[in-house]
């Protein structure tokens, strides 16, 4: 590949909304939100493939796809994701699948001259005991949280590959590190779900069954920050239009809440009035994970969806999905 002019020597410019734009993972929580937002923002040539149509772990298939569609822009939202249980019990799959997806997409993007690419990582890439709020410079300054280090290592590798491509080939590619995400399209499977959708399902099922007590993992003391996925989608468009730096950029709300407080909020929204008990024999994960969002705030980004409002909308979406299914809500959602 012929190296273009270094990215730092080229001014940032808004994307051409008519250009071919590939959303990798467009059926997932993040990818579907990016697709909705980009379509509403006037992107006329959005490209997506389901995992059944294109397995991004397959290098030959990924390269053939890029050669066929030759996207000008790429949002890499495809990933194997899950909560603390899935990460802790399937580290090989989380490491291997994510590494293969990332390497294949990024290499194919280089080979076909993709102009702008946004790699979406995760706040779990930062050390377990990083300073709070966590600045982007904290990356690689300490040990990771053991329960999700395989996933984190894979995402760190993606950040480094984006930086390497910028340095070697001068491409205007960027990485963003979202905080904990939720919203329509979330995963409510209790084996693999993140904490917020898992709590929604647990309390919903407790209401349906008349349970007097719900037992939750850990102590309830860890603090987490939550961003609605539709707000992340707005941030993705902003970053592709005007951010051009090798340093990954945090995307969050700048406020956090304890897991116990989150559980109480969700229980109230769902209508559960029974007892909530925590099991301290189960892992807590990282004690606190609040992102320093000063850099993206300086670009003009502000979240629009409050936590209570977002949870209500997500719960309404979950109930709608249950209403469209013939099986019991206790089965995988």
pLDDT tens figures, 10-60: 556 899 999 999 999 999 999 999 999 999 999 999 999 999 999 999 999
pTM of the model: 0.91
φ, ψ of residue 88 in degrees (nearest 5): -75, -30
CB 157 within 8 A of CB 204: no
CB 178 within 8 A of CB 243: no
Say if residue 331's pLDDT is above 70: no
What's the CA gap between 119 and 117, in Å, rounded?
A: 6
What's the CA gap between 145 and 50, in Å, rounded?
A: 31
Report the 10 Å Cβ neighbour count for 63.
16
* Listed residue (183, 197, 177) closest to 227, CA to CA: 183
155 marked as binding residue:
yes
Where do the H-state alpha helices sit in the chain? 29-40, 59-69, 84-89, 91-111, 149-169, 195-209, 229-242, 259-270, 294-298, 307-323
142 marked as binding residue:
no
* 151 part of the active site: yes
CB 307 within 8 A of CB 257: yes
What's the CA gap between 17 and 249, in Å, rounded?
A: 23
DSSP letter at 144 equals P
* Listed residue (145, 144, 127) closest to 136, CA to CA: 127
Tell me the domain boundaries of the chain.
16-183+226-251, 195-224+255-286+306-321
178 marked as binding residue:
yes
Among candidate residues 22, 151, 243, 318, the one labeled active-site is: 151
What's the CA gap between 13 and 225, in Å, rounded?
A: 31
pLDDT tens figures, 243-253: 999 999 999 99
The CATH number assigned to the domain with range 16-183+226-251 reads: 3.40.50.720
Dig out the tokens for 144 from the structure.
């990771």
> DSSP per residue over 118-130, as a string?
EEE--GGGS-TT-
pLDDT tens figures, 84-128: 777 778 889 999 999 999 999 999 999 999 999 999 999 999 999
217 marked as binding residue:
yes
CATH classification number, 195-224+255-286+306-321, choose in 3.90.25.10, 3.30.360.10, 3.90.1300.10, 3.30.420.40: 3.90.25.10
pLDDT tens figures, 158-194: 999 999 999 999 999 999 999 999 999 999 998 888 8
189 marked as binding residue:
no
């Amino acid at each position: 590949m012929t190296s273009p002019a270094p990215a730092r020597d080229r001014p940032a410019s808004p994307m051409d909304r008519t250009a071919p734009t590939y959303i990798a993972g467009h059926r997932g929580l993040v990818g579907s939100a990016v697709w909705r937002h980009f379509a509403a923002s006037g992107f006329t040539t959005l490209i997506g493939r389901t995992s059944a149509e294109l397995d991004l772990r397959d290098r030959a298939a990924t390269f053939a796809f890029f050669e066929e569609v030759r996207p000008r822009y790429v949002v890499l939202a495809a990933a194997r994701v899950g909560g603390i249980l899935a990460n802790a019990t399937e580290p090989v799959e989380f490491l291997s699948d994510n590494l293969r997806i990332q390497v294949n997409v990024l290499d194919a993007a280089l080979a076909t001259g993709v102009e702008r690419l946004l790699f979406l990582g995760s706040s779990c890439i930062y050390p377990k005991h990083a300073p709070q709020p966590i600045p982007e410079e904290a990356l690689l300054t300490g040990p990771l949280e053991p329960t999700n280090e395989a996933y984190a290592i894979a995402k760190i590798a993606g950040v480094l590959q984006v930086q390497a491509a910028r340095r070697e080939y001068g491409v205007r590619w960027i990485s963003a590190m979202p905080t904990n995400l939720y919203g329509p399209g979330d995963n409510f499977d209790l084996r693999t779900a993140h904490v917020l959708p898992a709590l929604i399902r647990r309390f919903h099922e407790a209401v349906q069954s008349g349970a007097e007590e719900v037992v939750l993992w850990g102590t309830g003391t860890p603090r987490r920050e939550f961003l609605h996925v539709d707000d992340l989608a707005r941030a993705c468009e902003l970053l592709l239009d005007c951010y051009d730096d090798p340093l990954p950029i945090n995307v969050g709300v700048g406020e956090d809440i304890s897991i116990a407080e989150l559980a109480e909020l969700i229980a109230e929204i769902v209508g559960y009035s029974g007892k909530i008990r925590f099991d301290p024999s189960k892992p807590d994960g990282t004690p606190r994970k609040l992102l320093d969002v000063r850099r993206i705030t300086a670009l003009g980004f502000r979240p629009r969806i409050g936590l209570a409002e977002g949870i209500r909308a997500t719960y309404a979406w979950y109930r709608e999905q249950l209403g469209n299914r013939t099986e019991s809500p206790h089965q995988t959602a």
